Amino acid sequence: MALIYCLASQGPAVALDLSANEQAGKRLYREGLSSSDAQLTARVGASDISVPASVLPCASCHGNDGRGRSEGGVRPPSLDWQRLALGQGERESNSRRYPAYSDASLARVIRSGIDPAGNRLDPAMPRFELTLADQRNLTAYLKRLGEERDPGVQENTLRLGTLLPQQGPLAEAGRVVRAVLEDSVEQLNRLGGVHGRRVQLVVQDPGYDPVSTQQALQALLQQQVFALVAPVAPLLQTQALERAGVPLIGSTPRTGGASLVFDPLPSVPEQLLSVALHARETLRLENLQIVYAGADQAADAEALRQRLQQLGWSPPPPQEAVATQAAGEGIVFVGRAQAFAELAGRLQAVGRTPYLFAASAQVASAVPGLPAQWSQRVFLAYPFVPGDWTAQGRAALAGMQRRQGLDARQASLQVSTLCAWRLLTEALQQVGRDASREQLLAALEQLHDVDTGLTPLLGFGPGRRQGLAGAHVVAVSLPGPRFVEVAPYRAAAQMP
Ligand code: HEC
């Protein structure tokens, strides 16, 4: 099994603290620059053409993390100090066999391309003319280079982390997400993993309150995970992620983390914009009242009001559900299932059944319990519907459900988890073997038109952290309930 539930925690990740000489060595390694004014030269290829070393810094071939590259013919080997110089015995790379490097033989191979056994290196490795001081700095840095990798990236494994509750109200969601992730990891590793690394998933249980969630997140970060995928938690405070620069791909409720969190799904206000638009364009409702339940929903309600204003509407200020007189013909509801059911009950008690608009992700579980009076009065926003599924997407989903014994009726959570996984692995593939968190963030940001076969095309962009930007509109018939799509997916950008 690829999943590990971690009980013990290891020491926290330490930021790499380099001496002045090591810093200078790092500059040479990454940029080809001397610590003096000297212009360093590299001689390239079999014919010894001289170019500035800044054109061909070590990192351009061996990678920022010194792990080398697997592509190409004669490959730049890993410069891990352990592999090059420590311990006894012969080493081998590119079919050359040689004893351990010393500081002196390392200087020689960089200067003349001769290894400790006297073998001549392939001319693909340039010869560098370095000053004595530069060579010393470079060697000092190479001894630390192995520590330079971001946490979670090892020679043969890549560690990803997630939070999945085993008890409490979110335990069922935790179980479903766990099965989807476990299955996805297994499928990926069977195909060789990502760039030669097997993926390992580290799981912590967040419990069911914000304090235990916070502790679980800390524990997860201490276990050196490269990124977080599809966590399930009541509310995630992302400061700890931000401090450590850890990307998160998933849809959990959270505060903060604007730049590091990539959510495959649209935000609640964006989803609600689609239903509000349907209310006006198709149902011809003139006045919509935004109603929210709970202080934690007020910001989303206000965000929605502002979006509607940008579209030229003038909705009244959002009202709290408990206080609402809701005189209008239509209510856009922001809040959870229980509060939605209560609102419907209160309205019905005073003989009113206005149109109710809400995000399926928030209220779906209350819908089957609504009385028949609400038939065709409730409209829900869905980021994706089964109509989006291609034959291939459908088959992949069904295969996973079969392997993991998952209920096809819980497809929504399964699909959003698959989307998070797909976006993460797509970005990891693009980053290549020399993976850093910084590069992962850049690669995520550049993803566009990712075809999951289960949703509209997903993608992000500079400053754009939501994979989808709109929703389908679905009408609810009761009793049943039966769901009928009444307006197709439309991205916010395509709204008037
Ligand atoms: C243009 C690509 C390129 C650049 C730039 C480059 N290398 Fe290399 N390097 C290689 C290749 C390819 C090999 C493998 C040659 C072989 O095995 O015959 C290699 C081999 C080596 C080796 C030998 C490792 C072993 O296992 O024997 C060392 C050490 C090394 N490089 C260090 C450096 C350093 C330090 C720099 C920067 C000053 C640097 N390289 C710049 C491509 C490069």
Which three-class secondary structure state does DSSP give residue 370?
coil
Residue 72: which pLDDT band, with cuts at 50, 70 and 90? Answer: low
Lowest-confidence segment of 324-333, 355-364, 414-423 by average pLDDT: 324-333
* Backbone φ and ψ of 148, nearest 5°: -80, -15
State the pLDDT at residue 159.
96
Residue 70: which pLDDT band, with cuts at 50, 70 and 90? Answer: low
Rounded to the nearest angstrom, the distance between the alpha carbon of 125 and the centre of ligand 1 is 5
Rounded to the nearest angstrom, the distance between the alpha carbon of 124 and the centre of ligand 1 is 8
Average pLDDT over residues 123-152: 92
Rounded to the nearest angstrom, the distance between the alpha carbon of 48 and the centre of ligand 1 is 15
Residue with CA at minimum distance from ligand 1 atom 33 = 58
User: Which of 56, 62, 139 has most ligand 1 atoms within 8 Å of its beta carbon, as the pocket-test mutant?
Assistant: 62
Instruction: Tell me how far apart the alpha carbons of residues 316 and 301 are, in angstroms, rounded to a whole number.
Output: 11
Residue that is last in its domain, among 148, 182, 204: 148
State the pLDDT at residue 10.
34
Residue 87: which pLDDT band, with cuts at 50, 70 and 90? Answer: confident
Start-to-end CA distance of the chain, whole Å, equals 50
Residues 309 and 339 in one domain: yes
Which atom, in ligand 1's list, is nearest to the CA of 124?
Answer: 12
Choose among 140, 190, 123: nearest CA to 35. 140
Residue with CA at minimum distance from ligand 1 atom 12 = 76
Residues 378 and 394 in one domain: no
CB 38 within 8 A of CB 27: no
Rounded to the nearest angstrom, the distance between the alpha carbon of 79 and the centre of ligand 1 is 8
With 90 as the cut, is the pLDDT of residue 216 above it? yes
Residues 260 and 394 in one domain: yes
Rounded to the nearest angstrom, the distance between the alpha carbon of 82 and the centre of ligand 1 is 16
Residue that is last in its domain, among 106, 123, 148: 148
Residues 219 and 326 in one domain: no
Q: Which residues line ligand 1 (CB under 6 A)?
A: 56, 58, 60-62, 74, 76-77, 79, 93-94, 96, 109-110, 115, 121-122, 124-126, 128, 138
Choose among 255, 187, 194: nearest CA to 227. 194
User: Is residue 3 assigned to a domain?
Assistant: no
Q: What does R_g of the chain's alpha carbons equal in angstroms?
A: 28
Tokens of 222: 């201490």
Which atom, in ligand 1's list, is nearest to the CA of 72?
Answer: 12
User: Is residue 253 assigned to a domain?
Assistant: yes
User: Is residue 7 assigned to a domain?
Assistant: no
User: Is residue 1 assigned to a domain?
Assistant: no
Domain interval for residue 205:
157-265+388-464
With 70 as the cut, is the pLDDT of residue 493 above it? no
Rounded to the nearest angstrom, the distance between the alpha carbon of 330 and the centre of ligand 1 is 68
Residues 119 and 260 in one domain: no
Residue that is last in its domain, among 95, 115, 148: 148
Residue with CA at minimum distance from ligand 1 atom 2 = 61
Residues 421 and 483 in one domain: no
Rounded to the nearest angstrom, the distance between the alpha carbon of 110 and the centre of ligand 1 is 7
Residues 55 and 71 in one domain: yes
Rounded to the nearest angstrom, the distance between the alpha carbon of 104 and the centre of ligand 1 is 16
Residue with CA at minimum distance from ligand 1 atom 32 = 110
User: Is residue 10 assigned to a domain?
Assistant: no
Residue with CA at minimum distance from ligand 1 atom 41 = 58
User: Which of 35, 49, 61, 128 has most ligand 1 atoms within 8 Å of its beta carbon, as the pocket-test mutant?
Assistant: 61
Lowest-confidence segment of 51-65, 312-326, 365-379 by average pLDDT: 312-326
Domain at 288, CATH number: 3.40.50.2300
Residues 37 and 130 in one domain: yes
Residue with CA at minimum distance from ligand 1 atom 31 = 125
Residues 247 and 287 in one domain: no
User: Which of 125, 127, 130 has most ligand 1 atoms within 8 Å of its beta carbon, as the pocket-test mutant?
Assistant: 125
CB 175 within 8 A of CB 405: no
Tell me the pLDDT tens digit for each residue of 273-297. 999 999 999 999 988 899 999 888 9
Residue 420: which pLDDT band, with cuts at 50, 70 and 90? Answer: very high
State the pLDDT at residue 457.
94
Rounded to the nearest angstrom, the distance between the alpha carbon of 225 and the centre of ligand 1 is 29
Rounded to the nearest angstrom, the distance between the alpha carbon of 85 and the centre of ligand 1 is 15
Q: What is the pTM of this model?
A: 0.74
Residues 333 and 251 in one domain: no
Residue 363: which pLDDT band, with cuts at 50, 70 and 90? Answer: very high
Total domain count, the chain? 3
Residues 6+ apart with CB under 8 A from 253: 233, 234, 235, 236
Choose among 76, 80, 57: nearest CA to 144. 80
CB 266 within 8 A of CB 307: no
Which atom, in ligand 1's list, is nearest to the CA of 83?
Answer: 26
- Per the rule left: phi > 0, alpha: psi between -120 and 50, beta: everything else, 395 is alpha
Rounded to the nearest angstrom, the distance between the alpha carbon of 468 and the centre of ligand 1 is 44
CB 67 within 8 A of CB 157: no
Rounded to the nearest angstrom, the distance between the alpha carbon of 381 and the centre of ligand 1 is 56
**Helix 411-431 crosses helix 171-190 at what angle (to 10 degrees)?**
40
Residue with CA at minimum distance from ligand 1 atom 30 = 110
User: Is residue 477 assigned to a domain?
Assistant: yes
User: Is residue 65 assigned to a domain?
Assistant: yes
Residues 221 and 311 in one domain: no
Long-range Cβ contacts of 58-64 (<8 Å, 24+ apart): 58/28, 58/29, 58/30, 58/32, 58/138, 59/29, 59/30, 61/125, 63/433, 63/434, 64/30, 64/148, 64/434, 64/436
- Could you tell me the CA-to-CA distances from 461 to 7, 271, 435 in Å, in that order? 37, 19, 20
Residues 6+ apart with CB under 8 A from 322: 293
Residues 140 and 37 in one domain: yes
User: Is residue 132 assigned to a domain?
Assistant: yes
CB 468 within 8 A of CB 455: yes
